[in-house]
Amino acid sequence: VAEFITVDNIEDLAAGAAFLGTGGGGDPYIGALLCREALERYGPVRLLPLAEVRDEDALFTTAGMGAPTILLEKLLSLEDADSSVRALERHLGRAATAMIAAEIGGINATLPIAYSAMRGLPLLDADGMGRAFPQLQMCAFNAAEISCAPLSLADEFGNFAIIEADTAHKAEELARSLVVAFGASATMSCYPMTGAQAKVGAVAGSMTAALEIGAAIRERSSDGDPVSRLLDVLRRQPLYGHAYRLFDGKIVELQRDTTRGWVVGTCEMAGLDDTRRCLVKFQNENLSAEIDGVLHAIVPDLITIVDLETASAIPTESLRYGQRVVVVGCSAPRQLRTPRCLDLMGPAAFGLHQQYQKIEHLALELNQQLGVPDASELTQRETN
């Protein structure tokens, strides 16, 4: 397990975070670029295991909020991130002793790394989701009753806001309105917490998971298919475990609307070797995967569209007509599958009509229907 994030492993982390971002969170290479500069300038960032955080530590998050498309155009800067974190520190009258990522997906996994480097602070090997989600209340911190507010938002012109809200839903609503007024993107710091709170609410080990997943994607091994290698590594992850190659195909339909600070739409793929069709719905992040109308995976389980040749995750805004891709699904971290979390970030929270079913149950059921003999391996994995 890595003890530091350095210029040598930052690309791995960014590639892993892009996978865990399940389509959301923007281009990982832009995030990696920002990190590389910061790590070169300020030195490595120490990864602090969740178990080693002190109860009295003051943890702060830093993240971009807004449609990834716009975040990319405006390119988050460390100065903007600093503006929002410092505003929240002043408001609370306490300074950060460590940073924690709100989500392990996309640039919101990498921004805290660059920022920790600049501030010379350790970064927790943990986050608030074990993946990425488009709204503030969709967070394990919230499920653990850690308050999303006070939160701060800042733009690149020195404008900022502090919001106090009695629920994370209200914080999301108020912050979203401001993000739109800030020009559809802003940096923010939310869920300020103590070490003691993080131990209860955070998803442990997700930075390490991103590093390992990214390494699997980046390795140029000679032994065949990169997607199989990715699946093998996912299956060894304590946070994920159940991983499936859901669909091989090429993109034949794309619908994307940028609205209220999100990218909302669908991606449809046609099978490479068959006539099947796969439909992935997204709101920044991918929400569900259906093949010929049959559900194969649904949020909060992870659905990522990866490049067929490289296994690199393709962010929602980089999907292109004709791309040859694989739809990979894997199980969500255990703590996202509780009833409380399913209320916050299950299908109904996104307006989907399907009930949540664990990806491994869906797979088992489908294999049984198809009479696939070797379903035993799936049954053995029923430990999550």
Tokens encoding 11: 């690309």
Q: Is 136 in the site for a second copy (CB under 8 A)?
A: no
Give dist(CA 127, CA 125) in Å, integer.
Answer: 7
* Nearer CB in complex with a second copy: 158/351: 158
Give, as ranges, the residues between 229 and 288 that touch a second copy (CB under 8 A): none
Among 181, 196, 252, 294, binds a second copy (CB under 8 A): 181
Give dist(CA 33, CA 17) in Å, integer.
Answer: 14
Site string for a second copy, 149-168 (x = CB under 8 A): --------xxxxxxxxxx--
Among 60, 133, 141, 182, binds a second copy (CB under 8 A): 182
Closest separation between CB of residue 59 and a second copy, Å?
22
Q: What are phi and psi of 131, to 5 degrees?
A: -170, -145
- Size of the chain in residues: 384
* Nearer CB in complex with a second copy: 79/164: 164
Give dist(CA 82, CA 79) in Å, integer.
Answer: 5
Closest separation between CB of residue 189 and a second copy, Å?
14
Convert 200-237 to b/e letters by CB count within 10 Å (16 or more is b).
ebbbbbbbbbbbbbbbbbbeeeeeeebbebbbebbbeb
| Beta pairing class for 123-127 and 98-101 | parallel
Closest separation between CB of residue 186 and a second copy, Å?
10
Nearest CA-CA partner of 76 in 169, 5, 182, 178: 182
Closest separation between CB of residue 90 and a second copy, Å?
9
CA 196 vs CA 90, 102, 129, 152, 220: distances in Å: 21, 16, 18, 22, 41
Part in contact with a second copy (CB under 8 A); list of ranges 175-183, 237-245, 249-257, 322-330: 175-183
Give, as ranges, the residues between 31 and 90 that touch a second copy (CB under 8 A): 87
Closest separation between CB of residue 171 and a second copy, Å?
8
Part in contact with a second copy (CB under 8 A); list of ranges 51-59, 125-133, 177-185, 242-250: 177-185
* Nearer CB in complex with a second copy: 157/321: 157
What is the binding site for a second copy (CB under 8 A)?
87, 91, 157-166, 170, 173-174, 176-178, 180-182
